[in-house]
Amino acid sequence: MDPQRTGNGGGKVKDPSGKTAWFSSLFGKGLLLQGFAAFLLGALLLLGILSVALYWGVSSSVAGWNRREGEAIREFARKVLQEIYERQSKLDAAMIHQALADRLNPSLFVYVEDAGGNVVYLYRQGEVIRGLERSGQGRNFLRRHAKLIQLEEVRSNGVLVGRFAAGTLGFEITDSNAQFLESLKRSVLLGLAGALVLSFLVGYGFSLYISRQSRTVAEGLTAISGGRRDVAFPQNLVQELQVIAQNAEKLQERLSREETLRRQWSSDIAHDLRTPITSLRGQLEGMLDGVFPLSQERIEKIYREVLRMQALVQDLSELNRIESPEFRPNRTLVYPPKLVSDLKSRFEVVASEKGSSLEGSWSVEQFPADEKLIFRALSNLVQNALQYGNPGRVEVRFTEQDGWVRIEVTNPGTIPEEQVPFLFRRLYRGDPSRSGEGSGLGLSIVEAIVKAHGGKVEFYNTEDGQSRFRIFLHKTFTKSP
Give SS3 for 282. Answer: helix
Summarize pLDDT for 269-303 with one digit per residue, the tens: 676 677 678 878 887 888 888 777 878 888 888 88
Q: Are residues 316 and 342 in the same domain?
A: no
The number of domains in the chain is 3
Q: Are residues 317 and 339 in the same domain?
A: no
Contacts of 281-290 with CB under 8 Å at 24 or more apart are none
Amino acid at site 334: V
Q: Are residues 347 and 293 in the same domain?
A: no
Q: Are residues 319 and 396 in the same domain?
A: no
Where is the domain boundary, 214, 232, 247? 214
Whole-angstrom Cα distance, residue 365 to residue 352? 28
Give SS3 for 440. Answer: coil
Whole-angstrom Cα distance, residue 48 to residue 210? 26
Residue 189 lies in a domain: yes
Q: Are residues 352 and 450 in the same domain?
A: yes
Residue 134 lies in a domain: yes
Residue 403 lies in a domain: yes
Q: Are residues 80 and 151 in the same domain?
A: yes
> What are the distances in angstroms from CA 433 to CA 256, 353, 430, 437?
34, 22, 9, 9
Residue 254 lies in a domain: no
Summarize pLDDT for 316-334 with one digit per residue, the tens: 778 778 877 788 888 899 9
Beta carbons of 144 and 190 less than 8 angstroms apart: no
- Dihedral sign computed on CA atoms, order 384, 332, 398, 359: negative
- CATH code of the domain covering residue 393: 3.30.565.10
Q: Are residues 198 and 59 in the same domain?
A: yes
Summarize pLDDT for 371-407 with one digit per residue, the tens: 999 999 999 999 999 988 999 999 999 999 888 899 9
Amino acid at site 232: A
Residue 307's domain comprises 278-323
Where is the domain boundary, 182, 214, 246? 214
Q: Are residues 31 and 130 in the same domain?
A: yes
Q: Are residues 455 and 397 in the same domain?
A: yes
Residue 234 lies in a domain: no
Whole-angstrom Cα distance, residue 396 to residue 393? 10
Q: Are residues 307 and 409 in the same domain?
A: no
**H-helix or E-strand containing 13?**
none
Q: Are residues 317 and 340 in the same domain?
A: no
Q: Is the pLDDT of residue 340 over 90?
A: yes
Q: Are residues 303 and 393 in the same domain?
A: no
Summarize pLDDT for 30-71 with one digit per residue, the tens: 555 666 677 777 777 787 888 888 888 888 888 888 889 889
Q: Is the pLDDT of residue 87 over 90?
A: no
Residue 225 lies in a domain: no
Q: For position 13, what pLDDT does the model report? A: 45
Where is the domain boundary, 191, 214, 237? 214
Residue 267 lies in a domain: no
